[in-house]
């Protein structure tokens, strides 16, 4: 009994010391005898304490608050609590250091454009030019001649295929499409898997002696495996695991214990997502898209070459037009000089000088317009060629070296339409898209089926006091597990899958209608190109005859003027008609060549004997 009272007194003293450390000086201060008003002190001295929610008049604390403070103080003094606090503090600091940009309102990777560029319209300021003292001479001998570059049509095609910017952009697309096919095929590559786990647990457990004890567990496990996806939709898994478990329990036979497992599992869908056709659907779509990209690239090659051919012949026409206008200027100047001599001799009135001088001014204006047209065509051809050192702002003069060859061809409309149906890339693209739609309908039908999955797992177990014992038991295959499972999932209503199937049907019907419309448009384009070619041939013949007759008429009127039988007005009029006939002949020749280009483009082919091929551009990944 005495021993129990001594133990009780010691516990009360320890409790009083802890309370004094938490609350400070007892009620009444040091040396104060009366501390009965303190709720805490009454309990310390063994007197019956007030209710747990009664507050001390001096401290303002209740008994529940004091007990909570005592528990927290004892918890803080534990080393495990200190380690946990330091660990949480370090994690918080690292999170703040790594993720401080998350709280920043400014995105460093966003492109920020000032609002003034959108909301303010700038004005174009032009400086007024000084008035020219005299009209420039078209034959200024002091002006340094620009560098000339003669190009044939074949050279322009080769430069275009090598340097054209639009073609460079398109030639990268086939490489990207091929990589998408490789990406889809990689879905069936095997994967190596591994995992490492370490778990340390200290679980509190209540006992019958009103005490709380702990259950410690120290676990370390590692596993290796290979996962092989099948083109049938299934998956094969090979796994091997090894684990070490230490419990510290006296009831454990092996402490630590080692366990090992080796398993083989197969999972195979039976209805939805089952079969090679369904699981290789994305690969087929990617392959169709690759071929569509190739068709579009070929169409871009044909379009670019046809465009450079058109620009080439338009530049040829503009240069020939300029030559005609310069010759007409020389003729007008000669007529002006002749009129001056007649007036000086008194054979003609002064008005003839004025008329011929006006004719010279008109021819000068025509030369200015023709020169500007030549510069426009040159810039257009330079942009298409995109050759280094031959930019649009360079003064290099381009001289077409290939002359038009106006030959009449026998045009079989039916054969040309058939050729267009075989070679037009737009129609081939539609055929590939229809093939995509057929595959999409098949895939959508499969997705309306229930999901039934068959699974089988074979497992071998091993256990021992050491890792070697565990693996010995594993390879003895004494303990084997077999598990077979069947999973079924049937969506109620299945509205989403049925809707996707109907969309696939509708898209296929839409593409079929588009194909018929495209075939009709191609036939129309070919027939129109044939008619245009025939009309331009007739224009060549008519303009050539008109040029010959107007040239004769001009020579006759000039002789009449020299004999004094007509005026300079008649000569100037016939000269203008002769110049217009020459321009019409040049335009007819150029338009005939362009009509041949248009006919070849309408049939999906190219002119010329040289075959054109292309290869995709594969950019470096540096």
| DSSP states along 475-544 | HTT-SEEEEEEEEEE--SS-HHHHHHHHHHHHHHHHHHHHHHHHHHHHHHHHHHHHHHHHHHHHHHHHHH
Nearest alpha carbon to residue 515 among 437, 414, 599: 437
Mean pLDDT of all residues in 196-206: 85
| Entry pTM | 0.70
pLDDT at residue 82, rounded to an integer? 57
Q: Kindly report whether the peptide bond that precedes residue 107 is cis, defined as omega within 30 degrees of 0.
A: no
> Are residues 533 and 385 located together in one domain of the fold?
yes
Q: Residue 97: inside a domain, yes or no?
A: no
Residues 361 and 325 in one domain: yes
The mean pLDDT of 370-386, rounded to a whole number, is 92
Count of domains forming the chain: 3
Q: What backbone torsions phi and psi does residue 208 show, to the nearest 5 degrees?
A: -75, -15
Q: Which pLDDT value is given to residue 212?
A: 72
User: Which backbone phi and psi does 32 adopt, to 5 degrees?
Assistant: -85, 125
Does the residue 121 lie in any domain? no
Decide if pLDDT at 57 tops 70.
no
Model pLDDT for residues 476-502, shown as the tens digit of each residue? 888 999 999 999 999 888 899 999 999
Q: Give the best-scoring range by mean pLDDT among 359-363, 453-457, 474-478.
A: 453-457
Residues 336 and 378 grouped into a single domain = yes
pLDDT at 267: 95
How far is residue 143's CA from residue 146's CA, in Å, rounded to a whole number? 9
Average pLDDT of 462-487?
91
Q: Are 558 and 483 in the same domain? A: no
Q: Is the pLDDT higher at 565 or at 453?
A: 453
Tell me the residue length of the chain: 622
Q: What is the pLDDT of residue 69?
A: 56
Residues 353 and 426 in one domain: yes
At 126 the pLDDT is 62
- Calculate mean pLDDT across residues 387-402: 89
Kindly state the average pLDDT of the residues 577-605. 91
- Does 482 fall in a domain? yes
- Per DSSP, the chain holds a count of helices (H) and strands (E) of 15, 8
Q: In this structure, which long-range contacts are made by residues 519-524, counting pairs with CB atoms below 8 Å and at least 24 apart in sequence?
A: 519/421, 519/427, 522/417, 522/420, 522/421, 522/424, 522/426, 522/427, 522/602, 523/417, 523/420
110 occurs within a structural domain:
no
DSSP result, 358-375: HHHHHHHHHHHHHHHHHH
Q: What is the pLDDT of residue 571?
A: 83
- Greater pLDDT, 562 or 450: 450
* CATH at 547: 1.20.1600.10
Count Cα atoms within 13 angstroms, Cβ side, for 335. Answer: 32
Residue 48: give the domain boundaries.
Answer: 2-25+35-88
Query: Per-residue pLDDT averaged across 180-190, rounded?
Result: 92
Asked whether residue 424 falls in the same domain as residue 300, the answer is yes
What is the 8-class DSSP label of residue 250?
A: T
Residue range 282-339, pLDDT digits in tens: 999 999 999 999 999 989 888 989 999 999 999 999 999 999 989 888 888 888 888 8
Q: Looking at the structure, tell me whether residues 331 and 475 fall in a common domain.
A: no
Give yes or no: residues 427 and 561 share one domain. yes
42-52 tens-digit pLDDT:
444 444 444 44
Is 127 part of a structural domain of the chain?
no
239 with 450: CB under 8 angstroms? no
Q: What is the DSSP letter of 147?
A: P
């Amino acid at each position: 009994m005495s021993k129990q009272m001594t133990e009780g007194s010691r516990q009360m003293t320890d409790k009083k010391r802890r309370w004094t450390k938490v609350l400070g000086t007892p009620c009444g201060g040091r040396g104060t005898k009366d501390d009965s008003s303190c709720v805490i002190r009454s309990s310390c001295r063994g007197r019956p304490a007030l209710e747990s929610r009664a507050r001390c008049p001096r401290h303002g604390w209740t008994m529940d608050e004091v007990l909570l403070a005592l528990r927290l103080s004892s918890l803080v003094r534990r080393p495990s609590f200190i380690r946990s606090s330091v660990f949480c503090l370090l994690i918080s600091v690292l999170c703040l250091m790594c993720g401080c940009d998350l709280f920043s309102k400014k995105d460093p990777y966003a492109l920020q454009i000032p609002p003034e560029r959108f909301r303010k319209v700038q004005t174009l300021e032009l400086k007024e030019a000084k008035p020219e003292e005299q009209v420039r001479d078209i034959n200024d001998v002091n002006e340094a001649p620009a560098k000339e570059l003669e190009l044939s049509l074949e050279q322009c095609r080769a430069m275009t295929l090598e340097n054209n910017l639009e073609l460079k952009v398109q030639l990268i697309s086939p490489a990207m499409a091929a990589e998408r096919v490789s990406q889809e095929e990689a879905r069936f590559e095997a994967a190596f898997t591994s995992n490492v786990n370490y778990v340390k647990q200290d679980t509190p457990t209540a006992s019958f002696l009103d005490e709380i004890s702990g259950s410690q567990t120290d676990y370390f496990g590692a596993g290796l495996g290979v996962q092989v996806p099948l083109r049938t939709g299934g998956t094969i898994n090979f796994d091997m695991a090894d684990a070490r478990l230490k419990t510290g329990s006296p009831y454990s036979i092996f402490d630590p214990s080692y366990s090992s497992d080796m398993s083989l599992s197969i999972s195979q869908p039976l209805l939805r997502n089952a079969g090679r056709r369904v699981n290789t659907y994305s690969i087929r779509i990617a392959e169709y898209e690759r071929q569509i990209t190739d068709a579009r690239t070929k169409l871009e090659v044909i379009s670019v070459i046809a465009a450079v051919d058109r620009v080439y012949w338009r530049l040829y026409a503009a240069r020939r037009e300029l030559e005609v206008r310069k010759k007409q200027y020389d003729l007008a100047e000669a007529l002006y000089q002749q009129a001056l001599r007649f007036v000086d001799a008194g054979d003609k009135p002064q008005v003839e000088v004025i008329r011929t001088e006006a004719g010279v001014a008109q021819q000068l204006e025509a030369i200015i317009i023709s020169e500007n047209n030549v510069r426009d065509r040159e810039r257009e051809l330079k942009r298409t060629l995109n050759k280094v050192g031959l930019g649009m702002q360079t003064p290099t003069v381009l001289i077409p070296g290939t002359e038009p060859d106006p030959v009449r061809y026998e045009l079989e409309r039916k054969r040309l339409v058939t050729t267009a149906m075989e070679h037009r890339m737009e129609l081939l693209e539609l055929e590939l898209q229809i093939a995509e739609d057929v595959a999409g309908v098949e895939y959508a039908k499969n997705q309306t089926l229930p999901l039934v999955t068959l699974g089988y797992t074979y497992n071998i177990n091993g256990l021992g006091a050491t890792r070697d014992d565990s693996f010995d038991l594993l390879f003895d295959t004494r303990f084997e597990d077999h598990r077979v499972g069947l999973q079924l999932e049937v969506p109620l209503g299945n509205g989403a899958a049925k809707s996707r199937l109907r969309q696939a049907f509708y898209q296929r019907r839409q593409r079929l209608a588009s194909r018929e419309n495209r075939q009709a448009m191609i036939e129309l384009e070919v027939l129109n190109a044939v008619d245009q070619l025939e009309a331009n041939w007739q224009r060549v013949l008519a303009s050539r005859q008109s040029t010959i007759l107007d040239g004769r008429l001009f020579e006759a009127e000039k002789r009449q003027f020299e004999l004094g039988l007509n005026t300079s007005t008649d000569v100037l009029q016939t000269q203008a008609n002769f110049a217009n006939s020459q321009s019409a002949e040049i335009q007819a020749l150029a338009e005939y060549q362009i009509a041949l280009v248009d006919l070849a483009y309408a049939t999906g082919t190219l002119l010329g004997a040289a075959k054109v091929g292309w290869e995709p551009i594969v950019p470096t990944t540096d």
